[in-house]
Amino acid sequence: MIVLSGTIGAGKTSLATLLAEHLGSQAYYESVDDNPILPLFYENPQKYGFLLQNYFLNKRLENIKDAQGSRLNVIDRSIFEDQLLFQLNADLERATQTESEIYRDLLHNMMEQVDTSEHAVVKNPDLLIYVKVSFETMLSRIQKRGRSFEQIDQDPSLFEYYQELTKRYTAWFDQYSASPKLMIDGDTLDFVEHPGDLEQVFQLIDNEIKLLKVED
């Protein structure tokens, strides 16, 4: 199981689609366009933040379960990022610290491997891929894809949120230890617009997968 991570606009969904096609596997996506809570959260994060995080938690666990149907399936968002995102909301007073603590404990309990039978769902990925992009690249892609509730001109407070999010992702990836990991430079390698860059990304990932097979 391969899981992608990265800030808003990093290209996770696009890479998940392309990578699954390259590997002959299946991609599983974060619920965004059909998410009934996300627009409400952007309108009133204090009211809907905790509900949104629990919605995402449920969907991510469903994706993890479904992705284990065959090898090399790809999930376009890591469940391990959610605490980072919700803690940031709490620190910016878009949620409460109590809500963040409850969510952290809930996530920890749900990620524990309780069932040790051969049919247990393994929740840690075999490989986590972090697509790292700069703050400027993130803003450009958010504007380009045009979701109204993500735009800074609709909500100027998002500028601080996006800026802080970029900083925290670097520290989060450095500390991540639940599985092997790989960083892709999304500023240098524009795998969506340039086929040559995409081939370089595939080569990096293929090499990492070969190492995992050797370890197995």
Annotation marks residue 206 as catalytic: no
Which residue positions form the known binding site?
6-14, 30, 42, 53, 77, 82, 141-145, 150, 189-191
pLDDT at 215 over 70: no
Number of domain units in the chain: 1
* DSSP secondary structure code for residue 205 in this structure: H
Read off the tokens for 51: 């509900």
Contact present, 166 and 134 (Cβ < 8 Å): yes
Q: Largest alpha-carbon pair distance within the chain?
A: 51
* CATH number (domain holding residue 192): 3.40.50.300
Per-chain mean pLDDT for the chain:
88
Contact present, 79 and 38 (Cβ < 8 Å): no
Q: In the prediction, which pLDDT does 94 show?
A: 87
Separation of first and last alpha carbons in the chain = 14
Global model pTM greater than 0.85:
yes
Which of the pair, 122 or 12, is modelled with greater confidence? 12
In the set 33, 34, 66, 76, the catalytic residue is 76
What is the distance between the alpha carbons of residues 133 and 79, in angstroms, rounded to a whole number? 19
Which residue positions form the known binding site for substrate?
30, 42, 53, 77, 82, 150
pLDDT in tens, 89-142: 899 888 999 999 999 999 988 887 655 555 666 778 999 999 999 999 999 988
H runs (alpha helix) in the chain: 12-23, 38-43, 45-67, 82-91, 97-111, 135-145, 158-175, 195-215
Residues spanned by the domain of 173: 2-215
Which residue positions form the known binding site for ATP?
6-14, 141-145, 189-191
Q: In the prediction, which pLDDT does 120 show?
A: 61
